[in-house]
Homo-oligomer: A and B are copies of this chain.
Amino acid sequence: MSVFLETVLVEEAISTIQAIAPVPGTERLSLEFVPGRVLSEDTRADIDIPGFDRSVVDGYAVRSADTTGAGEAVPAMLLLTGRINMGEQAAGHSGPAGSCVYIPTGGEVPPGFDAVAMIEYCELIGDTVLVKRPLANGENIILCGEDFHAGEIVLKTGCRLGPRHIGVLAAVGCDMVPVYRVPRIGILSTGNEIVPVTELPTGSRVRDINSYLCSSYVKEHGCEAVLYGIVPDERGAFRTALGTALAECNAVLISGGSSKDERDMTASVLQEHGKVLVHGIAIAPGKPTIIGLAGDVPVIGLPGHPASAFIVLTVVVRHLLDRMTGVQSAGPAAMKSVALENIPSMKGREEYVRVLVTEHGVIPLFGKSGLLNTLSRSNGLVRVPAGSEGVEEGDTVEVIQW
């Protein structure tokens, strides 16, 4: 039984992982619990917003026609007939031509008036208001429904709800918000060399970095992490742990299996449960990545080294998580920058080079790809396409900030 497939291009790995992503369920939650969640239905305004003609300044509601030609020397002189209070209905405050009404910022402009003169450009003498500038029809007023019309879509399905969106939901009275459920991602660390973080590793043992790296990564991308701990490189133990994770989770990340023997075991046990779709991606670092499916549960085998695992999470697995959380996104927001040094590369595989992003451009952090310290020293990744032989100093590059 061969579980070795051809190495695939990053693009193909991404489309494979997107194709197997389970469709997320939905639920309705109170507005206070949805920051960071993803909207599962288009949301519409229930009413016109604002629901009335609203003044955006403190001043006097006027008829603009009454201010034609007004200036410092010859102000318009209007009779003050009343005062609007906040939240008060203004219908009773209409007045004849030549009159005006005091109105605060946010107050309702009474029928008949079509502009608001800012208090800074007016003078009150007795019950007469001197208006020292001409006003245009509609000036300093937001009309009823000008912000949103009743029934208009205000936010679309797939929107990850940041503070601005939460504010818009509050405005349209969406107090029970339809959102996608949070997917559960199972995380297994494999390897006889792995010890718990609380232990002092002896000999050639290393601490379990990947459980924490993967769980904080999936949490950052809107998922719940379920940790299954460290599983020894032993077929029976691995089979049992994977079976439990498959039963309890919507997707499973297996980190570790750095050596060829371990990678073979991961792939062959996965084949018992389902099928291996990708075994090896043309990406550096990160080549020994496995993408498989057990029933309808995606199973991803990540490289054992944390730095490689993190690049595969950022470049490939992120697309799985985005689909599973329902977020509409074009993937990691890449920004453009300039290479401040040459970045050599081997043709035939996409390379992702850890970089320091500065104001002036990006500085590649070289050194052996297996170094963990490049994770904390870098603040971004530059992609060097498979067809390229590298990037030259001064070239424009795409940066994924992380």
Contacts and interface: CB of A to CB of B under 8 A. Distances in A.
Interface string A154-188: 11000001111111111101110000000000000
A162 B401 CA distance: 12
Contacts of A373: 147-148, 154, 168
A237 interface: no
Interface in A21-76: 31-32, 35-36, 46-47, 49-52, 54, 56, 58
Interface string A126-170: 000000000000000010001110000011000001111111111
Nearest to A138: B368
A212 to B, nearest CB: 4
B49 A372 contact: yes
A376 B205 CA distance: 51
Contacts of A220: 35-36, 162-163
Contacts of A56: 305, 368-370
A162 B372 contact: no
Interface residues of A, number: 94
Contact of A201 (B47, B86, B200): B47
Copies per assembly: 2
Contact of A212 (B106, B166, B194, B210): B166
Contact of A335 (B204, B213, B335, B369): B335
Contacts of A154: 373, 376
A204 B58 contact: no
A351 interface: no
B259 A105 contact: yes
A171 B105 contact: no
A272 interface: no
A87 B259 contact: no
B212 A88 contact: no
A363 to B, nearest CB: 17
Given A32-B215, A170-B207, A212-B166, A193 B87 contact: yes
Nearest to A143: B368
B54 A168 contact: no
Given A106-B193, A167-B306, A198 B213 contact: no
Interface string A191-216: 11110011111111111111111111
Given A167-B216, A167-B306, 5 more contacts: A35-B219, A56-B369, A105-B305, A167-B212, A173-B207
